[in-house]
Structure 1
């Protein structure tokens, strides 16, 4: 099965590289460092022991922050090799960890062929491979086993939908799961699903995302944003996905009773869609100001209907500046996004029906009064207007959100303790 899988990779490689180049039209980062994806690392070797953490994109990289910081503190002679699959993930890693200098090395993960993985492993010789959340690649795991590199899947999650997909891959996935040395799962349900694929050692450590601390710089940026917005009530739609912005904008224009000076802030999940969303807002006759132009717009006296968040790595700042937040990816069957950051800042949270990627955290937040689930965009706007109009309700929900976030901290410490046996 794995040989057939590898053959499929080689046969499809021209199409994969063509798609990479095509995506580079809108996001030039896809055309940079492309040799790394073929197993030719740009980063140099080092005399330091190397601990490898793979965080595929933005969300996983931000979630890895407490773990990376804890590993740097626990192993002061080691360096962290941080790999990604997307340029936005790489940029996020650079923003979060660039101040560590030579102790952090970044690279793209090579495509999952035996040759590319083996070359990558020979170059870096990592002491451990730590995969964040869901990233299990059959040849990567097999290559690590052959090279004597233990593999850990941490902050692990697996939805029922992903479990069904994994089972369809048969032995390809079960062989990979059985070769993972340690799985540190977010929840009991995640642990049970991953264990059913054959992972031999599965433990529950909780979600590392609860341990992410809002950087002081992000809070300062949030205060600046709030100063520009002044006292206007703000609904933030965070990490929206394609198709959701249209639903949000139509419902925003239809909703009755919203404060006359209310501001809708939209932060698309993917930066290549910033221009598209700006045109979408303007086409509906609404005045849109981009976050990158906000200071000048305020100085010019422009009163925006919609603030477009066109920056990366500032989600904490946007949460700090809003009055209530909708978490995108949940109005459509896309699985939702992480609501923990909003809760950690004491913001009332609204989510749609589709949160299967963060099911337990979202369900608990709803049960504990930190979040409210809405069936559609119209219900979202009706709930948002009620919260914007009711300071007491907002404060109560925000207090529940803070308590919810605080109760679940500690996963990073538990994870590092379990990793020690693998790292040595």
Structure 2
């Protein structure tokens, strides 16, 4: 594709988005009916602000979903420490709850506008950000172009480029260059990610490491943790977390196969999407296993087989109930989920082989012996059985996982070093603004 063709295509994308704008109402309403949108705040998806803009400079930080939001929380807290206002946008209901839990009213939270010109323009007209910081792999053409047209610096932080995305962009390098030339800087997670962004025309590119490593361990309600620990007692446990379709049933089958070898075994299953809990409870119950749901407050009894972790924001609770965790989306699906939270909580990490989205983190864990990849259900069952039987091997993996995370820290300071030239003028402006009011 030529440069001229790429720019023509982006122009068509702009007009197509404007034409589709009237049709977005039914789409957003459908998502709201499925619990994927906040029914009381759908107007924000059209760029209609839910709050007034504060005086002074304003930095817009965008994080798509829960993982990205958790990753940028320390970054946002650091920026707030400079005395500059932050508006943080997310795209999911669950990530909005994370913002409330971890940042409270220290930031302005809004749902990100749909990537169509009327919504993006309305959002930017109201908030008028002085700097845009985008997390991980959120490449929205209209938003990038509109920010570029307004000369708002855009920095991609914790940048990640999956195998699939890179292959897709390589077929359209001129289109990629037309978009990425609007980015003032890309801060990539790994050397591989950095090289991919450079190949697609991004300049300059810095490699920082993964911001998720510099986050604190997932929080926990200590009272709730002690209640569950008393209910579990000395029973052996393992967990399957961030699971996707097919992996929950697999975990239940592994439980059924291992409970004779390990009397009292409790399996903790935490689906990536808790909305599937009803379906999963029926499916696992039909296998003759006794299941309790965390969301219903059901206690763990002596004969409970499965604890279904169908709540939001309690990963820190579930991981503290076990020393063995299978991280999902790695056997029945592709790409994997983040293994760093289990690792930083001294957990032996197991996963399938499809972990491309977190390649660097898994490579580090595998090299140090903190994680093990399995081929299929039977191999996973064997690994869980081995770790339940061999305390020394389990402890060795747990220690290695925690040490790996500790060695990977430093991404936050590296990212802030890149952001300093963009933020410092805003810090001066904010101080002058406050002095003028005084």
TM range (shorter): over 0.9
Match of 2:136 in 1: 133
Judge which range, 28-37 or 118-127, deviates more.
Answer: 28-37
Which 4+ runs in 1 deviate beyond 6 A?
Answer: none
CA contact (8 A) 2:173 2:200 kept: no
Within a 5 Å distance, the mapping from 1:326-405 to structure 2 comes to 326-405=326-405
Aligned mates of 1:148, 1:79 — CA distance in 2:
19
Judge which range, 113-122 or 52-61, deviates more.
Answer: 113-122
Q: Alpha-carbon deviation of 1:222?
A: 3.7
Q: Alpha-carbon deviation of 1:263?
A: 0.8
Q: Alpha-carbon deviation of 1:20?
A: 2.9
Match of 1:284 in 2: 287
Q: Alpha-carbon deviation of 1:207?
A: 0.5
Aligned mates of 1:328, 1:261 — CA distance in 2:
24
Q: Alpha-carbon deviation of 1:18?
A: 2.8
RMSD between superposed Cα atoms in Å: 1.9
Judge which range, 107-116 or 220-229, deviates more.
Answer: 220-229
1:209-235 alpha-carbon deviations (Å, 9 max, x no partner): 111112564566444432332211111
Match of 1:60 in 2: 68
Q: Alpha-carbon deviation of 1:390?
A: 1.6
Match of 1:312 in 2: 312
TM-score normalized by the length of structure 2: 0.90
CA contact (8 A) 1:6 1:112 kept: no
Aligned mates of 1:169, 1:43 — CA distance in 2:
39
Match of 1:42 in 2: 50
Q: Pick from 240, 251, 257: which aligns with 1:237?
A: 240
- SS of equivalent residue, structure 2 residue 399: helix
1:71 equivalent in alignment to 2:74:
no
**How many corresponding residue pairs?**
416
1:196 equivalent in alignment to 2:199:
yes
Gaps of 5+ in 1: none
Q: Pick from 141, 146, 151: which aligns with 1:148?
A: 151
Q: Alpha-carbon deviation of 1:168?
A: 3.7
Does the C-alpha gap of structure 1 residues 28 and 142 become closer, same or farther in structure 2, counting only changes over 3 Å?
A: closer
Match of 1:273 in 2: 276
Q: Pick from 15, 32, 39: which aligns with 2:40?
A: 32
Q: Alpha-carbon deviation of 1:415?
A: 0.5
TM-score normalized by the length of structure 1: 0.93
Aligned mates of 1:227, 1:196 — CA distance in 2:
54
1:94 equivalent in alignment to 2:100:
yes
Match of 2:299 in 1: 297
Does the C-alpha gap of structure 1 residues 48 and 243 become closer, same or farther in structure 2, counting only changes over 3 Å?
A: farther
Larger Rg: 2
